[in-house]
Structure 1
Amino acid sequence: MIAKIYLRTMMLGFLMLLFLTSCSGGDSTAEPIEEGIVPTNLNLTVTIVGADANNPNGDGSGMIKCTASATNAVQYGFKVGNQEEQETVNGIFDYKFTTSGKNNQVVSVFAYSSTGNMISAFKTITVDVVNETGLVWADEFDTDGAVLNSNWFSEEVPPENGGWYNSEQQHYTARTENAYVSNGTLKIVAKKENYTAYNSTKNYTSARLNSKFAFTYGRIEVRAKLPGGGGTWPAIWTLGSNITTVGWPSCGEIDIMEHAGNNIGEVSSAIHTPSSFGNTINKGIIEIPDTTTEFHVYAVDWTTDKMDFYLDDTLFYTYNPATKNSDTWPFNQDQFILLNIAMGGNLGGAIDPNFTQDTMEIDYVRVYQ
């Protein structure tokens, strides 16, 4: 009896298998399951508006334009730093930085497929933002030719019987051979040549430019590439506008940048006041090896009680005397800006006998308040 039941069960199972097999041979109406699609070949381009060889971080507007493309992508998402992701279908995204100064950020893009799979890419960028509301004076050196007479005065007359202070060996001139603008930068050129002026003959010429703009308190930024010839002494600095009445050092002097071609890569900033001047104790030094091959921003933040000196974004010296009076702090009145290259002298040192000429190249001078 048990054997008969077992045999019947086996026969029913066999017939059911034949039925199912025969039914599966026809057309199926079930939808196929779509496999996951993964985007590939993601490319991200970030363009900084106004960027060129002289302004690698842009024109100060803070604008960037981003484009992305990827195979099998139907949507893109862009992020700047920790900002929220912004979605776009066409892979185009514009963004404006608003924080004044240099903005260092990561721009990320995410490419999504129709099945929700994603790949990503990123670029790190640096963008300059010039806050126009704080910019009170500037020279961007955009017009080729002679230096703008409305902005600068060429100081030529030597103060010491045909010579300059500090045992310097040059004559300053107002010639375009020694100072001119081209391709978006100011060139101050020190040259080896015999030049007679003011009853004195010198073996070198250069230029010394004084700004016609004077101010009290603010931030000065100068983007420059320095000369490296032995004996060159480039400087970016300020003097008190009252120098003709109170003299030096009572007028105060702020050395934003000084450099010696005999010691390439050592940049100094200094303060000269009645309390300490000449070989002043109030000095800061920073080492940066590419001062003569790359542009850097030399800056000072001058407030009512201190001065902070920067090379690019690095703070390397602060002048903040505990007691502020006419001896230590003659910096409550207007100062004007000076740009020059001296030759030899106390800081420039021995002049290379093979020296012919060298240049300080300045991209811009800006004052913020």
Structure 2
Amino acid sequence: MTILAYSQEKIIFKDDFNQTQLDTIYWNYDLGDGCPELCGWGNEESQWYQKENIKVKDGFLHIKSSKKDQQYFSGKITTKDKISFQYGIIEVRAKVPNGKGLWPAAWLLGADISEVGWPACGEIDMLEYLGRDPNHLYTSLHTPASHGETINTKRTFVKDIDKGFHIYKTKWTKEFISFYVDDLLLYTFSPEVKNDETWPYDKPFYLILNLAIGGEFGGKEIDDTALPQEFVIDYIKVTQ
């Protein structure tokens, strides 16, 4: 069931993926390889996103990475132009895949990206895991003052993070953005000077879930023997 309403808990959006298919009232599929505007989706990634690699079953969202005839496939969904919000607590319970070249992520982009572009829109990376770097999580912020190889990032050792499900949480306020896994604080971002260059976070953002393959950050070396693999999401929730 997908929820879009205020309740006593002030849940403004929740999807626990208990339906039989993706709820396209709230989610969009991003398809293809990003060409011609953003080939390789800006990171020289190897995957072609397709609907077939996204399944909702048994109460979970499954985003599968696969390879067929020398082509890599995976899935990506967003709430762009459907669900956006300003400030809140974003929580994702998920199980990440492992294998060199795999790059699962839960993240947010400024809803004004079509008007101002990236990085002016801002980006919040609440979960990035790299199969080439086992037992480490990456949490990052991309702003006009620091983007690409951003300085606003934290690489944290979390033993067995690729074993079983974990809860990834981001607290976003007008003063700071903090990242957690299983209630362990990983990183807090709160620049002393907050302006459009350093803090493009006083406006609505939308949600993204995807599993990239390869690329500059994911790693050029891809372990084909690890495929297929799945990024499995139990639920995603936003409260205020």
- Provide TM-score, normalisation by structure 1: 0.60
Q: What is the match of residue 9 of structure 1?
A: none
Q: How is 1:41-190 mapped onto 2 (pairs within 5 angstroms)?
A: 132-144=8-20, 146-161=21-36, 162-175=39-52, 178-190=53-65
Residues of 2 paired with 1:174 and 1:245: CA distance?
27
Letter in 1 for 2:228: Q
Q: What is the match of residue 359 of structure 1?
A: 230
Contact 2:33 2:47 in 1 (8 A): no
Q: Does 1:299 align with 2:169?
A: yes
Q: What is the match of residue 235 of structure 1?
A: 105
Q: How is 1:321-340 mapped onto 2 (pairs within 5 angstroms)?
A: 321-340=191-210
Contact 1:192 1:355 in 2 (8 A): no
| 1:110-155 deviation digits (Å, cap 9, x = unpaired) | xxxxxxxxxxxxxxxxxxxxx84321110011113x2111121001
Give the 3-state SS of the residue equivalent to 1:163 in structure 2.
Answer: helix
Q: What is the match of residue 3 of structure 2?
A: none
Alignment root-mean-square deviation, CA: 1.4
Residues of 2 paired with 1:158 and 1:228: CA distance?
22
Give the 3-state SS of the residue equivalent to 2:43 in structure 1.
Answer: helix
Letter in 2 for 1:360: F
Give the 3-state SS of the residue equivalent to 2:13 in structure 1.
Answer: strand
Residues of 2 paired with 1:186 and 1:151: CA distance?
14
Contact 2:107 2:208 in 1 (8 A): yes
Structure 1: runs of 5+ lacking an equivalent: 1-130, 195-201
Give the 3-state SS of the residue equivalent to 1:263 in structure 2.
Answer: coil
Residues of 2 paired with 1:142 and 1:257: CA distance?
23
Q: How much has 1:158 moved relative to structure 2?
A: 3.7
Residues of 2 paired with 1:303 and 1:230: CA distance?
35
Q: How much has 1:159 moved relative to structure 2?
A: 3.3
Q: How much has 1:193 moved relative to structure 2?
A: 1.6
Letter in 2 for 1:266: H
Q: How much has 1:291 moved relative to structure 2?
A: 2.1
Change (3 A) 1:345 1:163: closer
Letter in 1 for 2:78: N
Contact 2:113 2:121 in 1 (8 A): yes
Q: Does 1:193 align with 2:68?
A: yes
Q: How much has 1:157 moved relative to structure 2?
A: 4.4
Q: Which of these two proteins has the greater Rg computed from alpha carbons?
A: 1
| 1:84-121 deviation digits (Å, cap 9, x = unpaired) | xxxxxxxxxxxxxxxxxxxxxxxxxxxxxxxxxxxxxx
Give the 3-state SS of the residue equivalent to 1:213 in structure 2.
Answer: coil
Q: Does 1:209 align with 2:209?
A: no
Residues of 2 paired with 1:360 and 1:333: CA distance?
29
Contact 1:297 1:312 in 2 (8 A): yes
Contact 2:102 2:212 in 1 (8 A): yes
**What is the percentage of aligned positions where both structures have the same residue?**
39
Residues of 1 paired with 2:95 and 2:208: CA distance?
16
Q: What is the match of residue 124 of structure 2?
A: 254
Residues of 2 paired with 1:132 and 1:256: CA distance?
25
Residues of 2 paired with 1:262 and 1:157: CA distance?
24
Residues of 2 paired with 1:163 and 1:279: CA distance?
17
> Which aligned segments of 4 or more residues in structure 1 are displaced greater than 4 angstroms?
none
**Count of residue pairs the alignment pairs up:** 229
Contact 2:108 2:123 in 1 (8 A): yes
Residues of 2 paired with 1:137 and 1:236: CA distance?
15
Residues of 1 paired with 2:226 and 2:182: CA distance?
29
Letter in 2 for 1:137: F
Give the 3-state SS of the residue equivalent to 1:347 in structure 2.
Answer: helix
Residues of 2 paired with 1:270 and 1:150: CA distance?
29
Residues of 2 paired with 1:259 and 1:358: CA distance?
14
Give the 3-state SS of the residue equivalent to 2:31 in structure 1.
Answer: coil
Residues of 1 paired with 2:44 and 2:100: CA distance?
16
| 1:172-219 deviation digits (Å, cap 9, x = unpaired) | 1122xx11111111101011124xxxxxxx710111110231000000
Q: More displaced, 333-342 or 347-356?
A: 347-356
Letter in 2 for 1:133: E
Residues of 2 paired with 1:328 and 1:305: CA distance?
12
Contact 1:342 1:348 in 2 (8 A): yes
